[in-house]
Amino acid sequence: MKTIKLALALAALSIAPAFAHEQHGHESFSAGEPGNPKKPARTIEILMNEMDYTPAKIEVKRGEQIRFVLRNVGKEDHEFLLATTKENLAHAEVMKKHPHMEHDDPNGVRLAPSKTAEILWKFSKAGTFEFSCLIPDHRNYGMVGHVTVK
């Protein structure tokens, strides 16, 4: 199973080698789209710790806006990157080479211990998405959660 996932990640990398980051702002996002602050949103607080998220499973309705309030209650830096599993695995490969890469994308954030951030997100597509921490090894240790959009 591990080999298959790695193969997928490498395949994705070879298609889109360098622009995984530069073009985030112009691409459509796999998990929906950045939210509109003028529209109502449901708040979901997520705690980030070594090495998990609480809660790690979320259900939303298609079209719903969620205001994620992210709190790093751990002792290390952690990330919250909202995408498909395939995208996050490909992204994780890039992170292995650049472990201190900073994220400044609407679908993700990296937080130092005790820091809090908010992400407003509209789940405009049905499906199963994930949020994970792509700092090397964190995802493997359990820093992955799932969002089901119905």
135: buried, middle or exposed (CB in 10 Å: 19+, 13-18, 0-12)?
Answer: buried
Shortest distance in whole angstroms from residue 107 CB to Cu ion = 16
Q: What is the DSSP letter of 142?
A: T
Shortest distance in whole angstroms from residue 146 CB to Cu ion = 16
Contact footprint for Cu ion (CB under 5 A): 78, 133, 135, 138, 143
Nearer to Cu ion, 65 or 132 (CB): 132
Shortest distance in whole angstroms from residue 87 CB to Cu ion = 17
Shortest distance in whole angstroms from residue 39 CB to Cu ion = 30
Q: Where are any strands of DSSP class E within 10-103?
A: 33-34, 42-49, 52-54, 57-60, 65-72, 78-83
Answer yes or no: are the C-beta atoms of 145 and 55 closer than 8 Å: yes
State both tokens at 6.
Answer: 């790695």
Q: Is 54 helix (H, G, I), strand (E, B) or coil?
A: strand
Nearer to Cu ion, 122 or 138 (CB): 138
Nearer to Cu ion, 91 or 138 (CB): 138
Nearer to Cu ion, 95 or 143 (CB): 143
